[in-house]
Amino acid sequence: MNSTKNILVLCTGNSCRSQIMHGWLKYFTGGTVNIYSAGIETHGVNTNATKTMAEEGIDLSSHTSNHVDEYKNIDFDFIITVCDHAAENCPVIPSKNAVRIHHNFSDPSKLKGSDDEVKDAFRATREEIKLFCKDFVKSNLVR
């Protein structure tokens, strides 16, 4: 793996899906690439995202919700949008050679239901993102 790679994960509020992907990418790359997550808005880190990743042994408790403008001076190798809203409203990011990838993951934070239904929705999204991250790392970062 090339330790100089910079990856930006972009979502609407940088609270849930982008945070989960940030955690998985860091896990699957062993911390050998720079992972950034941001939103076109900031909504704070969703506690259910933190809890569902903790079930997998991945600690998001120190993560913060960041605005994409904070990273405008970083030259990204990959920019991954994880929701349609972010993909459609993404500001111009001046990374010259960034490969842009889009995948709209289900948003468990929008579910209205019992605690168990909400937990199940977060787990389903966590697993969906986990599979994407495994494939992404295998296809794009492992040589």
Q: Which of 83, 87, 121, 137 is catalytic?
A: 83
Count CB neighbours of 64 within 10 A.
Answer: 11
Q: Which of 58, 74, 90, 124 is catalytic?
A: 90
Nearest alpha-carbon partner for 11 in 75, 73, 63: 63
End-to-end CA gap in the chain? 7
Q: Which of 7, 8, 9, 11 is catalytic?
A: 11
Q: Among this protein's residues, is 133 annotated catalytic? A: no
Q: Mapping DSSP to helix (H, G, I), strand (E, B) and coil, where does residue 108 land? A: helix
Structure tokens belonging to residue 113 = 């239901």
What residues act catalytically?
A: 11, 83, 90
